[in-house]
Structure 1
């Protein structure tokens, strides 16, 4: 399950891309490398995992209608993400998991971090996301399989946070806060349940993503949630 979780974490908080107004909050130069420590705290136990991301440089792939170009970021589990820098921000436009021969285009570009005049406190956007740790418990997992994606509203909450990590102390960080509601059907008596999901990411100038937190508070007999913390342990340029 942790392999899936590491991919899920990156799908929403994919750090990095080139120079932006107010600092290099998203460096994507070829050869850059980030190492992270992931801590999973769940009702049924704790788990830790190391994760590495490397910037692989420019790449492209063809779809039926177009050719998509971008910068590739590869994770230590073999997943590639294709990221584009646009006038208003940085977007994930494609993804390739290790069993695929070529990337698959996202249905729509996924905004990771705004830039320019949109990189300001109070700026918001909405993207769909999936749970990072929430999962069905046996035997319910057999009938329900996966949990449906849900919308999360993201907001630039700060441009001046200080973040302490094993890789050092980072100042003037951008903090992105997210809030969403996950809805699932519990049973005939309880009906539908609504869980509030909180998410935060911190981006440091010249480095990119230095910390991520996700809280999915859920502890029932049919479904478990928990909390994920992801911090930068080292950065190589």
Structure 2
């Protein structure tokens, strides 16, 4: 969901064209494949606070090095929802530099690097990036999705654990890295509790040679005026 969620809420790639040293690999190069020829299919399961459950499939593919940006090549990823993402890698990690939706004619540059994985790959490494709410909705009013009116807020990420084992329907994975993201969005919850800071929580698992295998996004409202939920993104297949 970040590179994701988009996200969105994002390296088994050598990425030599984008790295400073000849033959060098970016930190995290086994955790987020960038070179062409890869494809991932995920199930997105949303459990709403009103007890509804929604499911959909989402696929991503890597298209290799692309020259669409005016400052040089970047690796292009594309989702079947019509989103394009441009990423680069260097000694600081792997990061997104631009994106484009179906309604945009040209890529939109990120104001700053949006890291997927940041060096050093060690417990406690931290970084930040802006995020929006993906799930929170108003029970009444239009548009229902809070993201259309609420500002982006900073999300703080930290590498929580290394060497994790993760099971998904795509298989069992070892040696994975777990990243935690936390943010808070201030909203008028209801006339009784007034304005509250609602937590936005993300947990992501990246595994060597595969990439993102699981993501969980939690945006709970606990309000009669707002609706939240939990989104789980689970890897079904990859190549």
Report the TM range for the smaller structure's normalisation: 0.7 to 0.9
Retained in 1: the 8 A contact 2:136–2:145?
no
1:218 to 1:9, Cα distance in 2 relative to 1, 3 A:
same
Give the Cα separation in 2 of the matches to 1:51 and 1:11.
11
Q: CA deviation at 1:77?
A: 0.8
Mapping for residues 159-170 of structure 1, pairs under 5 Å: 159-170=162-173
Counterparts of 1:33 and 1:54, CA distance in 2: 4
Higher helix share: 1
In angstroms, what is the RMSD of aligned CA positions? Answer: 2.4
Find the counterpart in structure 1 of residue 43 from structure 2: 37
- 1:148-207 CA-to-partner distances (Å, cap 9, x unmatched) read 221111110111110000110000000001111121123566431111222100000001
Question: Quick check: 1:36–1:51 contact (8 Å CA) kept in 2?
Answer: yes
TM-score, normalization by structure 1: 0.86
Residue 71 of structure 2 aligns with which residue? Answer: 67
Residue pairs, 1:213-228, within 5 angstroms: 213-228=216-231
State the secondary structure of the residue aligned to 1:51.
strand
Q: Could you tell me which residue of structure 1 aligns to residue 237 of structure 2?
A: 234
Q: Could you tell me how far apart the structure 2 residues matched to 1:56 and 1:125 are? A: 27
Deviation of residue 221 (structure 1)?
2.5
What is the DSSP-based 3-state SS (H/G/I as helix, E as strand, rest coil) of the residue aligned with 2:73? strand
- The answer to whether structure 1 residue 12 and structure 2 residue 8 are counterparts is yes
Greater strand proportion? 1
Determine if contact 1:13/1:112 at 8 Å carries over to the other structure: no
Task: Give the TM-score taking structure 2 as reference length.
Answer: 0.86
2:130 matched to 1:123?
no
Higher deviation after alignment, 147-156 or 205-214: 147-156
Cα drift, residue 135 of structure 1: 1.6
Instruction: Find the counterpart in structure 1 of residue 204 from structure 2.
Output: 201
Distance (whole Å) between structure 2 residues aligned to residue 38 and residue 142 of structure 1: 20
User: Equivalent residue of 2:6, what SS?
Assistant: helix
SS of aligned partner of 1:78: coil
3-state SS of 2:220 partner: strand
* CA displacement at 1:215 relative to structure 2: 1.0
Structure 2 unaligned residues grouped into runs of 5+? 15-25
CA distance in 1, matches of 2:3, 2:125: 26
For structure 1, the residue ranges without an aligned partner over 5 or more in a row are: none
- 1:26 equivalent in alignment to 2:32: yes
